[in-house]
Structure 1
Amino acid sequence: MEPTELGLKYDKIAQWWHNQHDQSAYGVPQLKLALGFASAGGSALDIGCGAGGRLIRLMEGKGFSVTGLDISKEMINLAKINHPQHLFMHQDICQWQTEKRYNFILAWDSLFHLPLAMQKPVLRKISNLLTDNGVLIYSFGNAVGEHTDQWHEDTFYYSSIGINENLSVLMQMGLTIMHVEQDQLPEKHVFVIASKL
């Protein structure tokens, strides 16, 4: 599934997503743990930021100025309304380029929608976007390969290179693994925190 097609699917549920997650606790303990490894303030990148909400507010509370990317135009429109003080762009992380470097990068439940062939290139790209001492947190599925699931009366695509390959790429890129956890057992949902020490 091409990322642009995924964006159109999320466009259809953007308002529902915002209503469901704006005030939820989902992902909050994990992000707080990652922020504990980070210095206060600086620039943060949120890949797959959705409509914003709780996770943006946590980063903001730590003093970060946030840049959010999402493949859904409707999600970005909502994020701009919800957080006018931050920068949001309708972009595909597979194609997006920037010279900027970030002190903190979050990709919560977004990279697992990438085409399987783009998993390693995008992980290398975002590793390169970290400043020295920058911190990365992202989630992925520990089910190697690709599959689709039905959700909201639509078909959504997922892919993963698994725990070992994710950690291998991060270490090859010079990052230090600070924490790895399969946090939603029995679901195969994993999050990793790594730092560019």
Structure 2
Amino acid sequence: MSADPAGVRAVYDRNAVAFDARRRESRMETGWISRFAALLPDGAEVLDLGCGSGEPVARLLLDAGFRVTGADFSPSMLRIARATFPRAEWIEADMRDLDLGRTFDGIVAWHSVFHLTVQEQRAALPRIAAHLRPGGVLMMTSGITEGESDGQVGKDRVYHASLDAAEYRRILAGQGVPVTEFVVDDPETGGSNILMARRS
């Protein structure tokens, strides 16, 4: 299917309530969020990039005592997040031109970057990396082979794409954020590929 940012946003807006209800039941992220949290200082500032409704990633981060900022381009998702987690900060933003004017101790981009095209990911990854402080940690999910595919949200198809795993490593290393771990087809998360990187 063709890439269509407005179409992806519309899918999430249309399915926001049902998506949130399903994500509230998810436990697959718990182990990885714990591993991520262990690398951060107490009270760290964390960006949940492509946060959706805040479930479950932002909730787990808040429960760990972090100061959380969630960024997403779906107004409907953000309305739910603001109502559910008023102690976090919620920003309507698009990864394609991300510029929050600040940096973070950690960034989580869980099942979100893959909605960008191959070219958009190449442009966005340096922008994302620029939001990391020295010593900051990035955790994101990705594909491992360059190409396009699709996924599903509710009954709607939604665009997905990936770079090759080696290219993710090259881009991030070039931004001073080398990959420290890249787990492929992780059974704990239903077969997700999880990349961890850290600014030196």
Q: TM-score, normalised by structure 1?
A: 0.92
CA deviation string 1:142-163 (max 9, x = no partner) = 2311123455332211111121
Structure 2 counterpart of 1:131 = 133
Structure 2 counterpart of 1:177 = 179
Amino acid at match of 2:5: P
Q: 1:34 to 1:44 in 2, by over 3 A?
A: same
Structure 2 counterpart of 1:55 = 57
Helix, strand or coil for the counterpart of 2:95? coil
Q: Indicate conservation of the 8 Å contact 1:171/1:177, yes or no.
A: yes
| Pairing 1:162–2:164 present | yes
How far apart, CA to CA, are the structure 2 residues paired with 1:96 and 1:133? 20
Of residues 10, 14, 17 in structure 2, which corresponds to 1:15? 17
Q: Indicate conservation of the 8 Å contact 1:112/1:160, yes or no.
A: yes
CA deviation string 1:132-182 (max 9, x = no partner) = 111110001123111234553322111111211111111111113222101
- Greater mean alpha carbon deviation, residues 3-12 or residues 150-159: 150-159
Q: What is the RMSD computed on CA atoms of the aligned residues?
A: 1.7
Q: Indicate conservation of the 8 Å contact 1:14/1:75, yes or no.
A: yes
- Greater mean alpha carbon deviation, residues 90-99 or residues 113-122: 90-99
Structure 2 counterpart of 1:194 = 197
User: Displacement of 1:56 after TM fit?
Assistant: 1.2
Q: Indicate conservation of the 8 Å contact 1:141/1:188, yes or no.
A: no
CA deviation string 1:3-38 (max 9, x = no partner) = 222111011111111111124202221121111222
How far apart, CA to CA, are the structure 1 residues paired with 2:152 and 2:25? 25
Q: 1:150 to 1:55 in 2, by over 3 A?
A: closer
Question: What runs of 5+ residues in structure 1 fail to find an aligned partner?
Answer: none
Structure 2 counterpart of 1:122 = 124
Question: What runs of 5+ residues in structure 2 fail to find an aligned partner?
Answer: none
Q: TM-score, normalised by structure 2?
A: 0.90
How far apart, CA to CA, are the structure 1 residues paired with 2:109 and 2:50? 6
User: Displacement of 1:96 after TM fit?
Assistant: 3.0
Q: 1:149 to 1:55 in 2, by over 3 A?
A: closer
Q: 1:34 to 1:42 in 2, by over 3 A?
A: closer
How far apart, CA to CA, are the structure 2 residues paired with 1:84 and 1:72? 17
Helix, strand or coil for the counterpart of 1:146? strand
